[in-house]
């Protein structure tokens, strides 16, 4: 039997008059890579925001490992092990890469005294260096992260997410704005994060080559509604998806 880490049930979210998500239901299986595609404005990021608690939902239920999380706030959900990255890369731009990584340690069990805890113990530093090496930023680790190139910032954000040891990682367009050679490296690293660290990935992506290669199952949104769900092959050959999003080749 498949275990589902995220279970979304009948979620509706509207902004003013715009219904961004209309009774969306979907499930993310544990330990797998799941994709989310759809045209611009179809409600993908809204769904992400709803899952991580960025805004309250109008209706429906969102469960993380069986626990209802739709009324929790962003930091509480993050501390449960459900983390997201942003479409517009977000890092702490005035801090160097090492500092960005150090503060990204899991905050799950942090008590009051841990606020003034040691931040650079040996094990943490080794982990920081290993992960910065993993994304190829080791040499630049002492530079102000805001001075890195866009692609490098994206890699840093990914490394920060790994540093947090999440169980599930929601990635919002991880390859957008990254050059083709770097994309291959990033796909490889995403796969390895999934296989080696056991992190479940739920990925929004417009790059079809990337998502079709990586994901085991894909959801497609259009106009705020769930249009289709299936394996990459099924999605690619689904007439509704082709009409709404992929276009005829």
Contacts of 60 (CB under 8 A, 6+ apart): 8, 9, 10, 11, 12, 23, 24, 70
Phi, psi of 24 (to 5 degrees): -85, 130
Q: What is residue 48's three-state secondary structure?
A: helix
Nearer to another protein by C-beta: 160 or 178? 160
CB of 72 to another protein, least distance (A): 12
Helices (H), 59-179: 74-80, 97-102, 122-134, 150-163
* Cβ-based nearer residue to another protein, 83 or 214: 83
Q: How far apart are CA 43 and CA 226, in angstroms?
A: 10
Q: Which is nearer to another protein, 157 or 205 (CB)?
A: 157
Min dist. Cβ of residue 233 to another protein (A): 34
Q: C-alpha distances in angstroms, 104 versus 31, 45, 151?
A: 22, 23, 19
Q: Would you say 121 or 216 has its CB closer to another protein?
A: 121
Asked if residues 35 and 245 have their Cβ atoms less than 8 Å apart, the reply is no
CB of 47 to another protein, least distance (A): 16
Q: How far is the CB of 150 from another protein (least distance, A)?
A: 16
For another protein, the closer CB: 24 or 98: 98
Nearer to another protein, 56 or 75 (CB): 75
Taking the CA of residue 124 as centre, how many other CA atoms within 13 Å lie in the half-sphere pointing to its CB? 16
| Token code pair at residue 142 | 């002492």
| Shortest reach from residue 78's CB to another protein, in Å | 3
Alpha-carbon distance of 207 to 247, in angstroms, equals: 14
DSSP β-ladder status, 200-204 and 33-37: parallel
Note the residues at the interface with another protein (CB under 8 A). Answer: 52, 73-75, 78-79, 83-84, 86, 90-96, 99, 102-104, 106-108, 110, 112, 114-119, 138-144, 160, 164
Q: How far is the CB of 134 from another protein (least distance, A)?
A: 13
């Amino acid at each position: 039997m498949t275990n589902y880490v995220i279970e979304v049930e009948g979620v509706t979210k509207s902004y003013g008059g715009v219904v961004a998500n209309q009774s969306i239901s979907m499930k993310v299986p544990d330990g797998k890579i799941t994709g989310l595609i759809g045209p611009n404005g179809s409600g993908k990021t809204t769904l992400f925001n709803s899952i991580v608690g960025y805004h309250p939902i109008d209706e429906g239920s969102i469960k993380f490992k069986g626990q209802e999380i739709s009324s929790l706030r962003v930091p509480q959900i993050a501390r449960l092990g459900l983390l997201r990255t942003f479409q517009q890369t977000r890092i702490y731009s005035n801090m160097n890469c090492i500092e960005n990584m150090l503060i990204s340690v899991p905050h799950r069990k942090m008590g009051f005294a841990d606020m003034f805890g040691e931040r650079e113990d040996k094990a943490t530093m080794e982990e920081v260096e290993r992960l910065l090496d993993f994304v190829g930023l080791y040499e630049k680790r002492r530079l102000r992260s805001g001075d890195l190139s866009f692609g490098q910032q994206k890699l840093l954000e990914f490394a920060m997410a790994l540093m947090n040891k999440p169980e599930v990682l929601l990635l919002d367009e991880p390859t957008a704005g990254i050059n083709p050679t770097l994309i291959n490296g990033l796909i490889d690293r995403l796969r390895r994060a999934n296989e080696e660290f056991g992190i479940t990935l739920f990925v929004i992506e417009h790059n079809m080559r990337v998502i079709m290669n990586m994901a085991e199952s894909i959801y497609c949104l259009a106009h705020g509604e769930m249009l289709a769900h299936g394996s990459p092959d099924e999605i690619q050959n689904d007439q509704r998806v082709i009409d709404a999003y992929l276009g005829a080749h």
